[in-house]
Chains A and B, each alone.
Chain A
Amino acid sequence: MALATLTLGAVTGDAVEAEANIGSNQYYTVLVGRREEGARGSRWGADEMVEISNRPEIIAAPRGINPLSKQFRFTVPLALFDRDHPDLQLVSFTDREGNNPARSRIFKVAPMLGTGRSDMSDYANGLPPSTLSVVPDSIDLARHNAPVRHVSLSFQEAAISRAQFLDGILQAITAAAPQLLNSLPGLLSEIAPDLVASLPQLLNSVGGVVNGAARPAAPAAAPPAANAVDNQVLVTLMRELITALAVHNRAAAPDAVSETATLRRRGDSHPLGHARSLGRYAGQPTRRVPYARPMDAGIISGPLLASLLGAVAGPLMQQAPQLLGVLADKPLDFLSTIIRAEAANDLQRDANQQALMRDILSETNRSMLLEQLIEKLGQGGGAAALLPLLAGTQSVGSRPQEATLVTLQFEAGRMIDIGGKLKSVYAKDGDGIDLRVTLQPKGKASEAPLPRAVVDLSITDPATGKQLLTKSFRLRDVYAGQAVPLHLDEVDLAKLPAQADLQLGATLRWPTSNGKTFGVRGHHAICLAEGPVFAGFGRSRDKVIHLAHPGDDRPFWNKIWEGTTTSGSDQTRWEIDVTCRYYLRVVGQEVSNGRMETRIASEPVVKGSTRETTGKMRAGMELSVEMLNRVLSDNDTPLPAAALAALKQADLRADLDREATTRLRLRGKDGQLGAVWAFPSLMLRDVHFLEPGAQDAFGQVTEMRRTTHAFLVPDRIHFLPMRSKR
């Protein structure tokens, strides 16, 4: 049977690929032109093109294995398409003279942006227009000619903090406390008999006496010395209760459990439960990628807590006023105890981490010296100077014993307020800086100095934990209470970034006469300034710039959705009805903007003859400071180079992370192409910088000058849903 079936493929280089099936026909041609205006599209083809731009030639089809189903691939140069000739059609024939033609359905290849074929790169993903357009590494050919990166949508909105979580629990307990405590003994006897058995003893210890469900609680008048014990008991009580409630709820409310399981499954695969991701990772080991992070260790999570409270609220409303009285007197006590316990855990973790870092540093020093020693020996001498140093280093098994009578403190010097934070700022562009550490005695200071000591200084990036610089200083006659300078020269400073917080750690160690080595460690944070430092945004100005030209402002435009019906199916309509959440982030490190891939929570479904896409959609863009400054230069005074560099270094997430949510609905018929574009408007806003004005003899900045410029920041987002004409 004679056929003419056309399937569009990817754009590679300067041509669009396509696949043809001409059935039993022997010859074919490809037409580039425009569908006749007003002509009604047919899924079975038979439409005719008008204003054909190419000179069609009838070509013999490649010989295939199956003479009744000739399938082959071909390419069409993009140069043939423009705004007047956006469509492509395949026509097959039985002979070279063009007899018995069969026409394919007409496909729109150019999305007909203002600049015509400039948008062809949107098809570089290799997907035909009937599916979601995802554009990897697309190159923009528009007037601004700025490349746009493709970035993964890797955002997740921040989970509720621990403090918010505890506040939430407190509010929930306060609200439900009267009913909750009324019913507690009855419920507990059902779900946690062991706990009920020990309840009188527990409550006695917190000042109330409960025997069965009878006596009111005595006022909690425990002496201060007993508070710690009381709180501990309350914490134990609450944990037992919550655990018991969870077990009980799991058994009694399978729906709640299945909901939790559903959430877990969804979180394991994708924050939005992306169906494509589910399929892609089917059969692979479970990955843990939670949408909202667990808010507390153990059994409590937001949905589970809600389901728990919902499930137990009714039965809890009727018993045990005594316990209510006790808890009502002390909710803050037991919550603060939980917080204190968590804080103690945090401190212990920090101490462990510091001990580990000490071990690693010690071993690193030792390894480096050993390497140098081996190298020197291999070169025939000169190693004598390294031997005492090597002997001075300690392996993990004999690391310095921590000194308990002294502390090591950095001299903070004059702190400067930058962006609401007080910082020790040093000038990077001078001859060098002197950090100062002081050995502070906890009691009476000994007048005798330490005859010799070594300070190991390490400087790390607090954001990444990456070690940027290590340096050791050999000291003599170190007196307690006297600052010791640690000089960093220009070479050292060149290894450190400017306008960024730096974490300092120093270990001072010294040998004693009995062969032991003592050590003490101190921490500090500084910032190196070189030129202006970003110091925050100020008031908004009136000027708003709409980036509304799809050609000139193409790097800021984002086609977040595109679709139609599936070729060859029975669908005659398509529809999208989604809640779209669009994110904008301003980044300094990238030169170009970045389009985030669009994610839709669920795959399209077919209802009757309609292909429906519903649910949640997420998309967004990264706007680079460089590109924003380029727009600024077209409309106003751009930022000076130094200020621009400072802004690129700044962490702008707290100031400029933005989102907009709206509902998007669009419907169309078979043969129509739907698309939704998004682009921002920018607002002019004051941006403040601080520059080093004066510095002391140690290179520490003592005064900063304030300067203010104007810069563009995202203000609003516009969505353009559109549908191709028939």
Chain B
Amino acid sequence: MTNETHSAITETDGDVQSPLDRQALAQHFLGYDVEAVITVALSPVTIADAPGEEARE
């Protein structure tokens, strides 16, 4: 019961095949299970600064 899988994440969720090794990354997080490495390509986007009140929030 304590070993049941709690996450449904798979490594194919990202846009591109991740070039990173999950196990190697997990070594940096002792005490944690790294569930996946999700790699997504960045796309151009047009973003504007929101009005001042929003920026202050």
Interface of A with B (CB < 8 Å)?
38, 40, 83, 86, 108, 112-114, 152, 154-158, 270-271, 277, 287-289, 544, 546, 548-551, 582-585, 653-654, 657-669, 672, 675, 680-681, 714-726
Contacts and interface: CB of A to CB of B under 8 A. Distances in A.
A548 B46 contact: no
A665 B49 CA distance: 29
Count chain A CB atoms within 10 A of each CB in B6, B14, B16, B33 and give the residue with the most: B6
A584 B18 CA distance: 19
B57 A152 contact: yes
B50 A271 contact: yes
Contacts of A550: 28-29
Contact of B42 (A108, A659, A675, A719): A659
Given A658-B45, A721-B7, A289 B16 contact: no
A256 to B, nearest CB: 27
B50 A669 contact: no
Interface in B39-53: 39-51, 53
A675 B8 CA distance: 15
Given A152-B57, A584-B42, A658-B42, A720 B47 contact: no
A720 B25 contact: yes
Given A663-B13, A718-B39, A723 B7 contact: yes
Contacts of A86: 31
Given A157-B46, A657-B44, 19 more contacts: A112-B31, A155-B50, A271-B50, A277-B57, A546-B20, A584-B42, A585-B47, A653-B47, A657-B46, A658-B45, A660-B15, A666-B9, A667-B8, A668-B6, A672-B6, A719-B38, A720-B25, A720-B38, A725-B31
A155 B55 CA distance: 8
Given A287-B53, A718-B38, A675 B32 contact: yes
A719 B37 CA distance: 6
A550 B28 CA distance: 7
A154 B50 contact: yes
Given A662-B14, A718-B18, A657 B45 contact: yes
22 contacts: A112-B31, A113-B28, A154-B49, A154-B57, A155-B49, A157-B45, A157-B47, A157-B48, A158-B47, A270-B57, A653-B47, A657-B45, A658-B42, A658-B43, A659-B43, A659-B45, A662-B14, A669-B6, A719-B14, A719-B38, A725-B33, A726-B2
Contacts of A544: 19
B45 A583 contact: yes
Q: Which 4 A-B pairs have the closest CB atoms?
A: A114-B28, A154-B55, A658-B42, A660-B40
Contact of A659 (B33, B47, B48): B47
A215 B15 CA distance: 58
A177 B57 CA distance: 45
Count chain A CB atoms within 10 A of each CB in B14, B36, B45, B49 and give the residue with the most: B45
B6 A667 contact: yes
Contacts of B54: 152, 154, 156, 270-271, 289
B43 A722 contact: no
A156 B42 contact: no
A100 B13 CA distance: 51
A90 B14 CA distance: 42
Given A658-B45, A665-B8, A724 B39 contact: no
Contacts of B25: 548, 720
A433 B20 CA distance: 55
A413 to B, nearest CB: 33
B39 A717 contact: yes
Contact of B37 (A113, A653, A720): A720
Contacts of A289: 50-51, 53-54
Nearest to B45: A659
A662 B50 contact: no
A321 B19 CA distance: 60
Contact of A722 (B8, B18, B32, B39): B32
A718 B36 CA distance: 10
Nearest to A599: B57
B6 A714 contact: no
Contacts of B49: 154-156
A725 B33 CA distance: 6
B33 A155 contact: no
Contacts of B46: 157-158, 654, 657
Nearest to B1: A40
B42 A715 contact: yes
A156 B48 contact: yes
A669 B36 CA distance: 18
A38 B1 CA distance: 12
B20 to A, nearest CB: 6
Contacts of A721: 7, 9, 34-36, 38
A719 B44 CA distance: 19
Contacts of B26: 722
A385 B55 CA distance: 50
A154 B47 CA distance: 10
Contacts of B34: 720-722
A611 to B, nearest CB: 13
Contacts of A658: 42-45
A722 B57 contact: no
Given A583-B45, A661-B40, A665-B8, A112 B32 contact: yes
Count chain B CB atoms within 10 A of each CB in A112, A544, A585, A721 and give the residue with the most: A721
B7 A666 contact: yes
B56 to A, nearest CB: 7
A717 B7 contact: no
A551 B19 CA distance: 19
Contacts of A680: 42
A662 B40 contact: yes
A40 B43 CA distance: 43
A630 B51 CA distance: 32
A114 B53 CA distance: 38
A722 B6 CA distance: 11
A661 to B, nearest CB: 7
